[in-house]
């Protein structure tokens, strides 16, 4: 009888472990499912490079600003950028989105790259690519790092402008 009881308890224990492992696999969300939902932009780590120089160094060299003037210009630029991206982003299961950022409402469509490492957003007539640095059910860190070529100082040579911004979003 004791042997039968031990075998029954052992079988029950093994069955419980099997069921708990099955549930863990079923509870794992795909990247797509984790991205879907409403997110609030809680922080933006902002940087801007022009011709591989920080904005401050570029302003000092190209425009002869003092370090203090360049720092003020950088801070104004950073604050304007952060204000423009403050708000919420709702990624819907059907591939559409609603953004309420910078006091404006935007909506269009989005999709993940094949490797599920990039969110492609069709935003105001252009694609924006946000690299997924990390994502779970509660927090997402995205990197936005586009590169532009523009003649800022109107000297006939286009400068290379590179944004290096990380967005922290929370559900």
pTM: 0.78
Q: In this predicted model, what pLDDT tens digit does every residue of 54-65 receive, in sequence order?
A: 999 999 999 999
The radius of gyration of the chain's CA atoms, rounded to the nearest angstrom, is 24
Stretch 59-82: mean pLDDT = 96
Q: Where are the alpha helices (DSSP H) in 64-117?
A: 67-85
* Partners of residue 116 on adjacent β-strands: none
* Partners of residue 106 on adjacent β-strands: 99
pLDDT at 73 over 60: yes
Q: How many residues does the chain have?
A: 171
Predicted local confidence at residue 27, as pLDDT? 67
């Amino acid at each position: 009888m004791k042997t039968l009881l031990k075998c029954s308890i052992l079988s029950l224990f093994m069955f419980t472990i099997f069921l708990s492992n099955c549930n863990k696999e079923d509870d794992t969300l795909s990247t797509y499912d984790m991205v879907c939902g409403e997110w609030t932009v809680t922080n933006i780590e902002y940087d801007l490079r022009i011709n591989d120089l920080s904005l401050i160094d570029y302003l000092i060299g190209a425009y002869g600003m003092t370090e203090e003037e360049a720092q003020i210009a950088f801070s104004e630029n950073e604050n304007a950028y952060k204000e423009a991206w403050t708000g919420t982003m709702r990624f819907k299961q059907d591939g559409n989105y609603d953004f309420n950022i910078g006091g404006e409402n935007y909506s269009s469509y989005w999709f993940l790259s094949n490797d599920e490492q990039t969110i492609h957003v069709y935003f105001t007539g252009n694609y924006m690519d946000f690299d997924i640095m990390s994502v779970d059910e509660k927090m997402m860190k995205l990197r936005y790092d586009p590169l532009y070529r523009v003649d800022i100082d109107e000297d006939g040579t286009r400068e290379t402008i590179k944004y290096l911004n990380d967005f922290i979003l929370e559900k």
